[in-house]
Structure 1
């Protein structure tokens, strides 16, 4: 039966949208199965496992996009060659359910929508319908998302008002400093009237002539 991964210690084996399973290595070696058969993982809400009926053709396979409507879907298509007994000690042989955050195809392994609980099983199919299947697993419950801590909680209305007032005051202070800087610059570097150069006054040169007194007439 499918079981949660436990043979290899892994962090995050169960998260708020994923869980990991041990690969069913060596469980599909029956001669009644073919290497061309598809091995699917069926995921269902625990209370909906009785509603699941194996599709009779590949066209009837329920995909992740219909999970919330049908309460079950099939994903992680594989072959028994991928689940062989040939293992390497360094390999981590697990299946992570809900691992694909960007889904572009119908067979997408989409994140699970909530804590569940869920159950899973493997179903072997070919073009003619179901060939073999395992039993359902035990309930698998995901981790509840943590609530937002108080430090990350939205701020109160009073705190928001104080922040707004402080922002306005800082803006006004900045504008006042800018205005003071502009006024000081104009006061120091303001335009001044430039005086015209004084006109050159040409002074004529005069030669100084000494005058001599002449002897008085009739003076001997």
Structure 2
């Protein structure tokens, strides 16, 4: 509304944010990235398309902050837009409030125009270095969800506009990596069992060959201990003595 921009007389101040002017509703639904990306969904992150060209409304200025609201799907009805930047919920508030704000930007970062070859996405939960108690921290998501997100525009006077909520997004879970039950799982078990038997037979054959080789070698070669004396007969071949020496003896 015009009141929050200071465009009405002071006598009508009841229309300011104390009177809760309705937010401008932007007809846009945040979407998961359609690009083929490694890690589009992980156990702690999700990837969104950038909301390009969605904030060109006259009530939105280049200086207004555009926040991404991340919420548990069952907490969207309880969401209340903060009236001051100082009241912005942080990731550490998610367990209690059910939502928080992150990835602050402005509309200059989301320009319209034809699509370019450059990939423009938002990776939610991608910053492991910031504290979850820091305003705007893009901390990893703490659980599988499901989550819903929307964009909220705030000026220095309070909220200005918001998009629609996205659909539910469920992150990957460790259990999803396990084989599904059924005939395919039974076949996998049979293959693993056969390979295990073959490996055991191979190891047994190698062990038997090693024992046989050692026994054959040790049984045919006498080995003297350190306390035994070994007599060696000295033998000189005839060509070691010259004929002259033999004649003079």
TM-score by length of 2: 0.57
In the aligned structure 2, how far is the partner of 1:100 from the partner of 1:87?
A: 30
Equivalent positions of 1:63-78 (< 5 A) are 63-78=90-105
In the aligned structure 2, how far is the partner of 1:135 from the partner of 1:148?
A: 32
Aligned residues: 151
Gaps of 5+ in 1: 150-220
- Deviation string for 1:154-183 (max 9, x for gaps)? xxxxxxxxxxxxxxxxxxxxxxxxxxxxxx
In the aligned structure 2, how far is the partner of 1:111 from the partner of 1:126?
A: 27
Q: Determine the structure 2 residue equivalent to 1:46.
A: 73
Contact 2:152 2:162 in 1 (8 A): yes
How far did 1:79 drift? 0.2
In the aligned structure 1, how far is the partner of 2:54 from the partner of 2:177?
A: 44
Which of 169, 172, 194 matches 1:143? 172
Contact 1:65 1:106 in 2 (8 A): no
In the aligned structure 2, how far is the partner of 1:63 from the partner of 1:30?
A: 27
Gaps of 5+ in 2: 1-28, 179-249
Contact 2:68 2:150 in 1 (8 A): yes
Q: Determine the structure 2 residue equivalent to 1:95.
A: 122
Q: Which has the larger radius of gyration?
A: 1
- Deviation string for 1:31-69 (max 9, x for gaps)? 221000000000000001011100111111101121112
In the aligned structure 2, how far is the partner of 1:109 from the partner of 1:87?
A: 28
In the aligned structure 1, how far is the partner of 2:112 from the partner of 2:176?
A: 43
- Deviation string for 1:56-91 (max 9, x for gaps)? 111111011211121100000000000002566331
In the aligned structure 2, how far is the partner of 1:65 from the partner of 1:59?
A: 15
How far did 1:29 drift? 0.8
In the aligned structure 2, how far is the partner of 1:148 from the partner of 1:41?
A: 30
How far did 1:146 drift? 4.4
Contact 2:88 2:135 in 1 (8 A): no
In the aligned structure 1, how far is the partner of 2:156 from the partner of 2:147?
A: 28
Q: Determine the structure 1 residue equivalent to 2:138.
A: 109
TM-score by length of 1: 0.64
Equivalent positions of 1:10-21 (< 5 A) are 10-21=37-48
- Greater helix fraction, Structure 1 or Structure 2: 2
In the aligned structure 1, how far is the partner of 2:85 from the partner of 2:110?
A: 21
Q: Determine the structure 1 residue equivalent to 2:199.
A: none
